[in-house]
């Protein structure tokens, strides 16, 4: 985390960041690589007077929090900027997503899977296998690379047709959104031409179109991505102190 002493947001965020690093053990979820998470190192750099490293990583604002994959050289090319909630739970959730193994999780129970999506601040993706067990068959290379590049914000799953509802029973890649306060599930399928397959450029276009479909509840966990998505939006602000239910 890059910070400076004159930044109010830095002063608020740094204690949460330090606390997350101190207590980031024993938080393993089912299918979560807890041993890898235990090895995550949290570090912070005060750039108030010495901006050498801030210039090296082209830091343009504070606080800026960067993540580097284990084993990757720590340089500008390998940086991944954190844009989640700057809270202890937010840092933990990010660390868990970045260290889930496998990155594309098999769906064992539809109810558990649907509930996990309802807790998300972004759309989730599911790849439906045409044959074989979801945990054993090989993923298309394009889907695997797509999941790796977007895993900091999104959850990725794979399933067999028998474990998911009718709309998901055809093989392929789907964007799935589960509403927080209702039972509605929105499903949109990636549908390239037969010859294109899982081309990364086509997947990126699909991603941009489906990143924020429908109506979204905005929070500190997704505000930046929502306001920088490049899509036209209509915002409605509700003051719960004065709102009257009709």
The tens digit of pLDDT for each residue in 42-72 reads: 889 999 998 888 999 999 999 999 998 877 8
Those residues of the chain that have pLDDT short of 70 are 24-39, 121, 131-137, 179-184, 193-195, 212-246
pLDDT score, position 24: 64
For residues 202-211, one letter each, b for 16 or more C-beta atoms within 10 angstroms of the residue's C-beta and e for the rest, the string is bbeebbeebb
pLDDT score, position 243: 53
Q: Is the pTM of this model over 0.85?
A: no
pLDDT score, position 34: 40
- Residues near 151 by Cβ (< 8 Å), separated by ≥ 6? 97, 98, 100, 103
Q: What is the largest CA-CA distance in the chain?
A: 60
Domains and CATH numbers, the chain: 2-98 (3.40.30.10), 104-213 (3.40.30.10)
Q: Which single residue is written with the structure tokens 């807890």?
A: 34
Helix/strand/coil for 244:
coil
């Amino acid at each position: 985390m890059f910070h400076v002493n004159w930044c109010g947001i830095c002063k608020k965020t740094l204690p949460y960041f330090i606390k997350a690093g101190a207590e980031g053990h024993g938080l393993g979820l089912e299918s979560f690589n807890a041993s890898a998470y235990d090895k995550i190192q949290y570090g912070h750099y005060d750039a108030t007077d010495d901006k050498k490293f801030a210039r090296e990583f082209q830091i343009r604002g504070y606080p800026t929090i960067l993540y580097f994959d284990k084993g990757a050289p720590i340089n500008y090319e390998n940086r991944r900027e954190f844009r989640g909630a700057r809270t202890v739970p937010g840092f933990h959730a990010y660390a868990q997503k970045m260290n889930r193994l496998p990155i594309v999780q098999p769906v064992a129970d539809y109810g558990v899977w649907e509930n996990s999506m309802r807790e998300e601040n972004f759309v989730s993706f599911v790849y439906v296998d045409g044959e074989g067990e979801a945990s054993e068959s090989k993923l298309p290379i394009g889907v695997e690379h797509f999941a790796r590049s977007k895993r900091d914000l999104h959850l990725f799953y794979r399933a067999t047709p028998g474990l998911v509802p009718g709309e998901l029973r055809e093989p392929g890649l789907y964007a799935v959104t589960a509403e927080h306060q209702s039972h509605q599930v929105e499903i949109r399928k990636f549908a390239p031409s037969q010859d294109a397959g899982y081309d990364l450029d086509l997947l990126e276009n699909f991603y941009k179109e489906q990143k924020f479909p429908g109506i979204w509840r905005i929070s500190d966990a997704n505000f930046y991505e929502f306001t920088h998505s490049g899509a036209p939006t209509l915002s409605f602000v509700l003051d719960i102190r004065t709102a009257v239910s009709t």
